[in-house]
Amino acid sequence: MSGGAALRTQVGQLALRSVLRTARQPAQIVPALVFPLFLLAVNTGGLDAATSIPGFPSDSYLAFALAVPFIQGGLFAVMNGGTDLARDIETGFLDRLALTPLSGIGLVVGQLAGVLAMGGLSAIFYTVVGLAAGAGLQAGPGGFLVLLALALTITLAFGALGVFAALRLGTGEAVQGLFPVLFVFLFLSSMSLPRNLIETDWFRTIATYNPVSYLIEGVRSLFITGWDAEALALAFGVAVAMSALFLAAASVSLRGRLVRT
């Protein structure tokens, strides 16, 4: 088997394992689907009056806030991808894999397949529920494909962070400890209000430097604006940059974790 074919087989088999493992853990699937929509319902009920603020970009808070579950789904990707890999480290399954001719790339990419499958499923679910609840998708059917692509890129970024964290920290508990920290990033973003309407200076400054704001705004633009090239470019740019950064970090950590000679 050639090197390329071997790598494809490795990635394919590990991806299949990752998808099967995710699909067989309802405890990973249900919270990732339900909790973000629960928070969406609470926020929409409580903050609907925000649409009457002059300059608010939408007359539907539901449509405005529908982008947030996509990012929360990403946070679950950190948890799920990271915890699964950490479990492999703790149980010695990674040693089993290390004794095969598996490449590091194959391991990382294969590991992310289940996370991406879950990310795609979540994105479809959030969109369907949002549209059923009355939100519109201003970018139309073509926008849905872009939305799916953006959701998968965001999931890849957060999933790579989970893989990096697992390889670096080595335990599922440590990976799960990241969840509240990442939630802080979410709350200190433009999740509840557009940045130009945040009146508290320090909050607006943090939200401006917080990459999560741009991810939310990219997804949000498809729901409430239509085709906003700048917002989409920024969202894809941030998601791709995060993916590259965390995949590189994961690759370095993998060398430390897989110390086979």
Partner 1 sequence: MSDAAIEAEALVKQFKKGPRAVDGIDLVVAAGEIYGFLGPNGAGKSTTVHMLTTLLPPTAGRARVAGHDVVKEGAAVRASIGAALQEAALDPYLTGREHMRLQTALHGLPKEERRRRGDALLERVGLSEAADRKVGGYSGGMKRRLDLGLALVHEPRILFLDEPTTGLDPQSRTSLWAEVERLARRDGVTVFLTTQYLEEADALAGRVGIIDNGRIVAEGTPSALKAEIGQPSVEAVPADPADRRRVEGVLERFAGDGDCPHSTEDSVAVRLAAGDAGLADVVRALDSEGIRVAHLQLHEPTLDDVFLDKTGRTLEGAGEEDGGGDVARPEAQPEAAPA
**Which residues are at the interface with partner 1 (CB under 8 A)?**
1, 6, 9-10, 12-14, 16-17, 20-21, 24-25, 88, 91-93, 95-102, 170, 256-257, 259-261
Q: Determine contact, residues 36/69, Cβ cutoff 8 Å.
A: yes
Smaller CB separation from partner 1, 21 or 204? 21
Nearest distance in Å: CB 93, partner 1: 5
Q: Determine contact, residues 143/222, Cβ cutoff 8 Å.
A: yes
Nearest distance in Å: CB 261, partner 1: 4
Nearest distance in Å: CB 7, partner 1: 11
Nearest distance in Å: CB 163, partner 1: 15
Smaller CB separation from partner 1, 148 or 258? 258
Smaller CB separation from partner 1, 169 or 206? 169
Q: Determine contact, residues 92/246, Cβ cutoff 8 Å.
A: no
Token pair of 180, please?
Answer: 């509240």
Own/partner long-range contacts of 188-194 (Cβ < 8 Å, ≥24 apart): 188/212, 189/71, 189/213, 189/216, 190/216, 190/217, 191/65, 191/67, 191/68, 191/71, 191/216, 192/43, 192/47, 192/50, 192/65, 193/50, 193/53, 194/55, 194/56, 194/57
Nearest distance in Å: CB 100, partner 1: 4
Reference 33, options 121, 109, 92, 94; nearest CA is 121
